[in-house]
Amino acid sequence: MRIDCPLCGTRDRREFYYSGHATALARPAPDAGAQVWDDYLHNRENPAGVTEDLWHHEFGCGAWLAVRRDTVSHAVLSARLVKGDQL
């Protein structure tokens, strides 16, 4: 599996650290309540098909990417940069 880093080009999966679904970008307000925070931290759509998850290019440029990917075929569809303040 290779990921297209917008800064570095196509790189091997081994250069990236996987950090779970991109739902982590939608951080709730601090006072949103236990149910909302539980949903944000733990519950997942867990799709068989197209998903978007976060990858850190730790052995490359250090950027965080949101990668659209197919969990059934392992095809990597696209990758976009994610700003640090979104995480």
Partner 1 sequence: MAGMRLPIESHVLQAFVTEGLKPCIDHVISFGMGHFYISQSDKGGLVFGGDLDMYASYAARGNLPMVEHVAEAGMTLMPMIGKARMLRSWGGIMDMTPDGSPIIDKTHIEGLYLNAGWCYGGFKAVPASGHCFAHLLATDRPHSAAARFRLDRFRSGRGLMDEEGTGAQHNLH
Q: Are 63 and 7 in contact (CB under 8 A)?
A: yes
Give the pair of three-digit tokens for residue 29. Answer: 């307000």
Among 4, 11, 25, 53, binds partner 1 (CB under 8 A): 53
Q: Is 12 in the site for partner 1 (CB under 8 A)?
A: yes
Q: Is 48 in the site for partner 1 (CB under 8 A)?
A: yes
In 3D space, the residue among 51, 44, 56, 87 whose CA is nearest the CA of residue 69 turns out to be 51
Q: Is 26 in the site for partner 1 (CB under 8 A)?
A: no
Nearer to partner 1, 31 or 45 (CB): 45
Phi and psi angles of residue 33, each rounded to the nearest 5 degrees, phi first: 105, 160
Among 7, 27, 28, 38, binds partner 1 (CB under 8 A): 38
